[in-house]
Structure 1
Amino acid sequence: MDMPRRLALCALIALAPFAMSHAEKTPADNYPSRPIRLISPYEPGGGVDIMARLVARNLGTELGVAVVVENRPGAGGVVGTQALTAAVPDGYTLILDSPSPLVVAPYLMKKLNYDPQKDLEPISLIADVPAVLLVRNDSPIHTVGDLLALARKEPGKLTFSSSGLGGTAHLSAQLLKVLADVDMLHVPYKGTAPAIQAVLSGEVTMTFADMTAGLPFARNHQLRAVAVTTPKRTPALPNVPTVAETVPHYAASVWYGVLAPKGTPRPIIDKLNIALVKFVHTPDVNKMLVEEGAEPAGSSPEQFRAFLRRESERWGEVIRKSGLQPQ
């Protein structure tokens, strides 16, 4: 072999390890290198928004970059969730989402521009949060039994507020209507905060507020906590009974999870999952979630996807039995 060819061959051999190392690099190696946008698909002040800001702060600490919450409310979380599906799948746009746009909207909306089962990449569940049934302090409703007696005495006259069609308050009340066979009137508002304000002002009889948003009103005695939606009493309100103590088999909650657009590289999904699960189980964060009435979760992407399928089937059955029609 002549000298020029020998030198070229030696050069290729010398470069081979570098080439292999370069080829083995994944999209997650330099991720994240800039701020991450976390969509909160509801108005500020509600349970989803509160949880989104907790996630943003802790995820940013874990990853070493800013995680900025962007509120994109509308249509019960659908507007923000649809915005996620249109985002570039590079890990720099995520969402903190809840049941309404992920498992309820397909049953209640005639036109939905995304398929929750196909167009999103689940990353991890964050927490499961029950709701608390709130009424005014001067309300004659002191127990779930009082509520049911009034509802049967005057069908359709008791009113309950919600953050919109398919939201936590709406579904919690619908489940009660199905299991207890009572009729109550749904009054939707644009967010959890105005739904709670409607009870304070006397515009409506009651609301099922998710614990993250409703707990302060119960603890400060601004509203009366009648019951919680967990199967067992919650440490956050230990003296408040469950709905299930009066209506057997009743259980409802809102859960929060982080998702990315379809096509986000798996190494990035895995890196985000590790960071999310780590902070959820950090002792301080775990303790704070429990004190606020939440049950810390943390899951693999596969567990989250299977959970979404089960929740879709469960709430689909409730919606069918309640007679709700797509709009």
Structure 2
Amino acid sequence: MRRHDLAALSRRTLCAGALLAAGLPSAFAQAAYPSRPIVMVVPQAAGGTNDIVGRVVSQKLAEKLGGNAVVENKPGAGGNIGTQAVAKAPKDGYTLLMTISSSQAINPALYKAPGFDPVADFQPIALIGAVPNVLLAHPSFPAKTMPELLAMAKAKPGQLQYASAGNGTLNHLLGEMLNQMAGIELQHVPYKGVAPALNDVLGGQLPLLFGSLPSTLSHIKAGRLRALAVSSAERSPVLPDVPSIAEFVPGYSGTLWIGLFAPAGVPKDVIERLNGGMRLAMADKEMREKLEAQGVELAGTADKPVTPEAFAALLKQDIAKWARIVKTSGATIN
């Protein structure tokens, strides 16, 4: 190489080093995270509880990180399709999973080959909160209260039907858990999705349904459905006059938690940025009010959110809990 070529190369190298030292953008400097939009995958259809929460959270997280975020719905196979996509996504922090406990904690027991490991393939970022289901009845149904329903079910074993979004879904297994713990025999009627199940209960074709609070609150307020009880251990602040099932069936508790995950293998500094962004988002008054208005019972407090470690422990606990219920119910999907 000629002397003047070496000199030119040295000058370019010195300039690049100066840019890096000064923290200025250059082809040699790595852009700070996030330098492009974050894709938050919701493995359920648009309009559902997880989608509603995901859109609120993605906007606030992007704001706190000083970037942009978009929600991408990837429904199918009970949430498995979207979950698999995130598990196989590049490990750079630009593809995240906003999911629910029914997909992350129930599907591994329900499906013989879900296509992902709920623990090994993901890193917990933040537990957003929990959403109770409501045991709903058509207004014409004779039982007006939870005690009346339990008495009727015991008098007519196997004759009272409840709808669900399909075999192994949370609103199916909540009914199975009620059967086991209350010593009754409600008859399960699976549908292909929550929309047709809800429509048939609204139309009076079936009397009962477990439905998430955010997706059924408008029907409850309008009197199109009667709320008999909520599935959470305690009453919901959104429906303070509606008792919990646990008030009549001690120990009963089943909620749908919502949380944010990254694929396993994302660099530690990116995970720390995401954790920090979510801590700020979870402390944001505007976001908290929006989610609480939808019936979401937020995890932790504004000053002390649930840690990723505690979220990981909850996931493992729920995987074991729902595996027992799935096994007892006999539900399985190939």
Please classify the TM superposition score into its range, dividing by the shorter chain length. Answer: 0.7 to 0.9
SS of 1:209's equivalent?
strand
Partner of 1:4: none
Q: For each residue in 1:141-200, what CA deviation from the matched residue of structure 2 results, as whole angstroms up to 9, or x when unmatched?
A: 211222223333333332222233333312221211110122223233344333322211
TM-score (norm 2): 0.85
Partner of 1:126: 128
SS of 2:75's equivalent?
coil
Q: 1:291, CA displacement in angstroms?
A: 3.6
In 1, Cα distance between equivalents of 2:236 and 2:150: 22
Asked whether the 8 Å contact 2:158–2:185 carries over to 1, the reply is yes
Asked whether the 8 Å contact 2:153–2:185 carries over to 1, the reply is yes
Partner of 2:255: 253
Distance 1:189 1:57, change over 3 A: farther
Distance 1:70 1:203, change over 3 A: farther
Q: For each residue in 1:74-110, what CA deviation from the matched residue of structure 2 results, as whole angstroms up to 9, or x when unmatched?
A: 1211111111112111111111111122111121111
Q: Is 2:309 the counterpart of 1:309? A: no
In 2, Cα distance between equivalents of 1:240 and 1:28: 54
Distance 1:31 1:160, change over 3 A: same
In 1, Cα distance between equivalents of 2:200 and 2:66: 41
SS of 2:96's equivalent?
strand
Structure 2 residue aligned with 1:70, among 53, 60, 72? 72
CA RMSD of aligned residues (A): 2.7
SS of 1:81's equivalent?
helix
In 2, Cα distance between equivalents of 1:58 and 1:220: 31
Distance 1:167 1:35, change over 3 A: same
Asked whether the 8 Å contact 1:132–1:227 carries over to 2, the reply is yes
Structure 1 residue aligned with 2:271, among 231, 249, 269? 269
Distance 1:250 1:28, change over 3 A: farther
Q: 1:240, CA displacement in angstroms?
A: 0.9
Q: 1:18, CA displacement in angstroms?
A: 5.7
Task: List structure 1 segments (4+ residues) > 4 angstroms apart after TM superposition.
Answer: 15-22
Aligned length: 314
Matching of residues 131-280 of structure 1 within 5 Å: 131-280=133-282
Matching of residues 78-97 of structure 1 within 5 Å: 78-97=80-99
Partner of 1:296: 298
* Fraction of identical pairs, as percent: 39
Q: Is 2:320 the counterpart of 1:318? A: no
In 1, Cα distance between equivalents of 2:282 and 2:194: 24
Distance 1:28 1:225, change over 3 A: farther
SS of 1:232's equivalent?
coil
In 2, Cα distance between equivalents of 1:53 and 1:164: 25
Distance 1:276 1:166, change over 3 A: farther
256-265 or 283-292, which moves further after superposition?
A: 283-292
In 1, Cα distance between equivalents of 2:212 and 2:145: 18
Asked whether the 8 Å contact 2:53–2:291 carries over to 1, the reply is no
SS of 2:258's equivalent?
strand
SS of 1:233's equivalent?
coil
Q: 1:124, CA displacement in angstroms?
A: 0.8
Asked whether the 8 Å contact 1:76–1:165 carries over to 2, the reply is no
- The runs of 5 or more residues in structure 1 that have no matched partner are 1-7
Asked whether the 8 Å contact 1:199–1:207 carries over to 2, the reply is yes
Asked whether the 8 Å contact 1:132–1:215 carries over to 2, the reply is no
Asked whether the 8 Å contact 1:151–1:157 carries over to 2, the reply is yes
Partner of 1:286: 288
In 1, Cα distance between equivalents of 2:109 and 2:177: 15
Asked whether the 8 Å contact 2:96–2:263 carries over to 1, the reply is yes
In 1, Cα distance between equivalents of 2:298 and 2:213: 13
Distance 1:185 1:302, change over 3 A: same
69-78 or 201-210, which moves further after superposition?
A: 201-210
In 2, Cα distance between equivalents of 1:70 and 1:17: 37
Asked whether the 8 Å contact 2:167–2:331 carries over to 1, the reply is no
Asked whether the 8 Å contact 2:168–2:332 carries over to 1, the reply is no
Q: 1:325, CA displacement in angstroms?
A: 4.5
Asked whether the 8 Å contact 1:162–1:169 carries over to 2, the reply is yes
Partner of 1:108: 110
Q: For each residue in 1:90-141, what CA deviation from the matched residue of structure 2 results, as whole angstroms up to 9, or x when unmatched?
A: 1111111111221111211112221111111211111111111111111112
273-282 or 117-126, which moves further after superposition?
A: 273-282
281-290 or 90-99, which moves further after superposition?
A: 281-290
In 1, Cα distance between equivalents of 2:134 and 2:278: 27
Q: For each residue in 1:180-239, what CA deviation from the matched residue of structure 2 results, as whole angstroms up to 9, or x when unmatched?
A: 122223233344333322211223221111112122221222211111112222221111
Q: 1:28, CA displacement in angstroms?
A: 9.2
Partner of 1:34: 36
